Amino acid sequence: MNPISARFSRITGTGSFLPPRRLSNDDLAAQLAEQGIETSDQWIVERTGIRARHFAAPDVTSSDLAFEAAKRALDAAKLDAAEIDLIIVATSTPDMVFPSVACMVQEKLGVQGCPAFDVQAVCSGFVYALTVADSMIRTGAARKALVIGAEVFSRILDFKDRTTCVLFGDGAGAVVLEASDTPGILASELHADGRHVDILCVPGHVSGGSVLGDPLLKMDGQAVFKLAVGVLEDVARAVLAKAERTDADIDWLIPHQANIRIMQSTARKLKLPMDKVIVTVDQHGNTSAASIPLALDEAVRGGKIKRGDTVLLEGVGGGFTWGAVLLDL
């Protein structure tokens, strides 16, 4: 065994950051009405549970939000940035085509040398990134990792399409994951089914100096809804079985924050009352890869989730991708 490998990894600090500009449904509806697009607070709340979202200023990027969340997570873990030996950022809205947001965060933190890379699994990105970091810690490739989800989805929204532009927001969440003799992360499950690429995508790409195709988000909401509800139950059961735990062991469920109806359905299937589900979609909208670490940080700082609690994180999104991580905090 590698002399520095650890049996487990454990979250030792959480942090998050929301850009200050907050738009209620009424604010967004008024903005859309100026372009002749009709929506209402009532429609958005009834269909999604969303009441508000935050949008970054035009000159603020995913790496700016990620940096702020990372600083807060490092403070919570009582670590200096120089002690970090791995940085992974989950994002679908990077500052540039390349290099990675993770390299930009490393530069903003004023450190050099450790591996830094992005993971692209859309709204499942954070559970993918956390699983990669956990694996690297268990094999001894790292001991203290920063794992971040950061997005500026407002940049890729089509504000002429009311079926999608009311759903998303910007933000970042981060955790410090450290090698540990006690668990920690108990089990993970990651999945993808590329047959469903088209139901949720940003189909444009850069070619010869121009954008070819549409660079704005497209979604078949009902197809996504149906797939999400099915896979979230299956993956929860699979990760519980892998960790030899049951529904009854879950203290808190943190599902990807896309739609309150998907979250209610998952909770019902897992026989969990809604007061065991962390809900931030009402205030953040869907922040894609940032939604789970943002919700985790708010719940930890708000005193809901405490050290030792068993938490089930569940992601689902474009790809189609989905996954879950079961952990003891």
Active site residue ranges: 123, 256, 286
Asked if 2 and 139 count as a contact pair (C-beta separation under 8 A), the reply is: yes
Cα gap 65→52, rounded to integer Å: 18
Told to check if 196 binds ligand ACO by CB under 6 A, we report no
Beta bridge partners of 311: 252, 327
Q: Could you give the 3-state DSSP secondary structure of residue 143?
A: coil
User: Token pair for residue 188?
Assistant: 């993970």
Largest Cα–Cα separation, the chain: 64
Of the candidate spans 43-51, 56-64, 79-87, 301-309, the one that interacts with ligand ACO by CB under 6 A turns out to be: 43-51
Beta bridge partners of 21: none
Of the candidate spans 68-76, 83-91, 98-106, 160-168, the one that interacts with ligand ACO by CB under 6 A turns out to be: 160-168
Number of residues counted as binding ligand ACO (CB under 6 A): 24
Tell me the one-letter amino acid at 326. Answer: L
Told to check if 166 binds ligand ACO by CB under 6 A, we report yes
Told to check if 24 binds ligand ACO by CB under 6 A, we report no
Q: Which residue is nearest to ligand ACO (CB)?
A: 221
How many CB atoms are closer than 10 A to CB 210? 8
DSSP string, 28-69: HHHHHHTTT----HHHHHHHH---EEE---TT--HHHHHHHH
Binding-site member from 318, 327, 328, 329 for ligand ACO (CB under 6 A): 318
Told to check if 288 binds ligand ACO by CB under 6 A, we report yes
Told to check if 221 binds ligand ACO by CB under 6 A, we report yes
Told to check if 43 binds ligand ACO by CB under 6 A, we report yes
* Site residues, ligand ACO (CB under 6 A): 39, 43-44, 47-48, 122-123, 162-163, 166, 200, 221-222, 224-225, 228, 258-259, 262, 286, 288, 316-318
